[in-house]
Structure 1
């Protein structure tokens, strides 16, 4: 995901690269390194979306590194995965921290030339749908999407954040970053409201399996979306998102720029991917940015 303006030089991964790059990856046998060559063989295929795939031991931010490649003219379909990120951040510049090899930290470079720029705002939603669908199908975990694209699971009866998505424009390309907690234990969580697939009882936590499935799912959905010129109705993206959105139908507080708070009920997602909030007075307002808090109704 994203990082400071000055990217660090990434250290390459793969089994051969770890001997001089710090502690052995096998110090935690539950968290083996990703096999870059095997992933390439399975995912970088003639005529497919993915044109390159690199795994690095550590970098500041995969989003920042791919943004630099985009500015240099890199083609669509580049995938960059980091075993650890030292300066990752999520939406609203929040820091994202996790132990090495405890999750999936990746970015992809997209150039959706068939899609009008005004529809690019659907890309983080598309990524969220792809991740949620993959985890439900492959790992047996019901994942919800808190608007716009936080990944949520239920642990011990409480909603917790499993991961997040951040997209940025660079050199005419879209860089989409995903951070997903896979094997974090209770004592490794950055905050009590975070979660991991392991804590959610996932049937599969092998990162290679999850990464293959996620990139294949995304490629299929992205193909449908671009073929429909980014139309969220024709591509069925809007329906797929609404089906997984945990924000709709709930009381919310949207913290907007300028310390403004919009309170009401989340009633819809409009054709531009914005959240529609109905105020207590009955007015409807669409918001395209803000930090959403799900408000629990007072017990009766």
Structure 2
């Protein structure tokens, strides 16, 4: 091997003859799809297929195509990197390769259609519970399902969830920042598990735990016909929701705004805001800003 053939060590980056090596960053090893399938695709379990791709535009878009083609419930698509991912309210979302968990789930729930609004909330509870149990990081959920941690007294976002309905199928997209460094953050209000002091940042460990946690909670929710109280979902979410009890500014569609106190969730998972005149309004969609109380 000549010096020209040797991988460059500077910054732990190296390249082979066929393009970037999967080990271009030793802190970010690639996921082993075969090992994940052995562990997660079990008889009688929720998960029926699991694929890991190196790069795609959007796992949600790809999996929606499979849903339309008749793919079974329980398909999981994981991307090491996405270059056209979307967040809530059509925002663009990107992160360095293998710096997080970027995946979509194909579900065909049998609960009443009006209770499907609880599904992204269920995903958020599953992720928050996994992050706390496996990584030792206390994560909260800003309504409806932005994953937040507190760093130096400030709330910072580490992940988000996007659900899309296609016929009788629901495709759930999830992005969770795992090892993003400070200089890699897309905005100052973002963060990662590593920056929050996580005890575990191995993505395979986190993914296994997350999919098992979700499968258990999803099964309970299905058996309860989507009832958030009977399934335990409402109290589990309420305990982790950082929005309830706070003064909020909700930016509604049509450039409208709603100010008040977030006091509850209704039976459809909508945020109930009490305005200054005591009126209550349920919000189904909107961008919520937590408003700091005025100093006295």
Worse overlay, 168-177 or 56-65:
168-177
Q: Which residue of 1 aligns with 2:84?
A: 87
TM-score by length of 2: 0.94
Once the two structures are TM-superposed, the CA of residue 88 in structure 1 deviates from its matched residue by: 0.3
Alignment of 1:137-176 (within 5 A): 137-176=133-172
Distance in 1 between residues matched to 2:221 and 2:52, nearest whole Å: 27
Once the two structures are TM-superposed, the CA of residue 19 in structure 1 deviates from its matched residue by: 7.3
Q: Which residue of 2 aligns with 1:60?
A: 57
Alignment of 1:1-300 (within 5 A): 22-113=19-110, 115-300=111-296
Question: What is the aligned residue count?
Answer: 282
Judge conservation of contact 1:21–1:57 (CA < 8 Å) in 2. Answer: no
- Which 4+ runs in 1 deviate beyond 3 A? 18-22
SS of the residue aligned with 2:92?
coil
Distance in 2 between residues matched to 1:185 and 1:19, nearest whole Å: 25
Distance 1:177 1:75, change over 3 A: same
If you compute each CA radius of gyration, which structure gives the higher value, 1 or 2?
2
Q: What are structure 1's unaligned runs of at least 5 residues?
A: 1-17
Distance in 1 between residues matched to 2:208 and 2:66, nearest whole Å: 23
Distance in 2 between residues matched to 1:277 and 1:45, nearest whole Å: 43
SS of the residue aligned with 1:200?
coil
CA RMSD for the aligned pairs?
1.2
Judge conservation of contact 1:73–1:171 (CA < 8 Å) in 2. Answer: no
TM-score by length of 1: 0.92
SS of the residue aligned with 1:26?
coil
1:216-247: per-residue Cα shift (whole Å, max 9, x none)? 00000000000001000110101100000000
SS of the residue aligned with 1:233?
coil
Q: What are structure 2's unaligned runs of at least 5 residues?
A: 1-14
1:239-265: per-residue Cα shift (whole Å, max 9, x none)? 100000000000000111111100000
SS of the residue aligned with 1:106?
strand
SS of the residue aligned with 1:268?
strand
SS of the residue aligned with 1:42?
helix
